[in-house]
Amino acid sequence: MYSAKVYKIMFGAPSDIKEEYEAFINIIHGWNNLHSERSGIVLQPIHWSTHSYPSTGRNGQKIINDEVVAKSDLLICVFGSKLGTETDTHSSGTVEEIDEHLKAGKDVMIYFKKSINIDPENFDINQLTKLKTFKSEMRDKCLYSEFTDAKDFQEQLFKSIQLYINDHWLSNSIEILDSPTTNHSNSIVELSDFDFERLRAWTSVDNPQFFQVHFEGGSCIYGLGATNQYEVKTGKEKVEWDDFFERMLQYGFIDIEKYDRHGHPIYRLKKAAYDYINSF
Q: Is 199 within 8 Å of 275 (Cβ atoms)?
A: no
User: Which residue segments constitute the domains of the chain, with CATH numbers given?
Assistant: 5-168 (3.40.50), 182-278 (no CATH)
Query: pLDDT tens digit string along 231-247?
Result: 998 888 888 898 899 88
Given 3-state DSSP classes, what are the helix, strand and coil percentages for the chain, each rounded to the nearest 5? 40, 20, 35
Q: Who wins on pLDDT, 184 or 152?
A: 152
Q: Which of 3-17, 138-152, 209-223 has the lowest mean pLDDT?
A: 209-223
pLDDT at 131: 95
pLDDT at 187: 41
Residue 111 has pLDDT above 80, yes or no: yes
Distance CA 261, CA 264 (A): 7
Residue 172 has pLDDT above 60, yes or no: no
pLDDT at 259: 74
pLDDT at 100: 92
Our CA dihedral for 203, 209, 212, 213, rounded to 10 degrees, sits at -110
CA dist 57 → 54, 60, 62, 100, 177 (Å): 11, 9, 10, 19, 46
Q: Who wins on pLDDT, 87 or 38?
A: 87
Predicted structure pTM score: 0.63
Query: pLDDT tens digit string along 62-95?
Result: 888 887 888 999 999 999 999 999 999 999 999 9
Residue 103 has pLDDT above 80, yes or no: yes
Rounded mean pLDDT of the chain?
84
pLDDT at 180: 39
Distance CA 137, CA 167 (A): 27
What are the beta bridge partners of residue 112? 79, 146
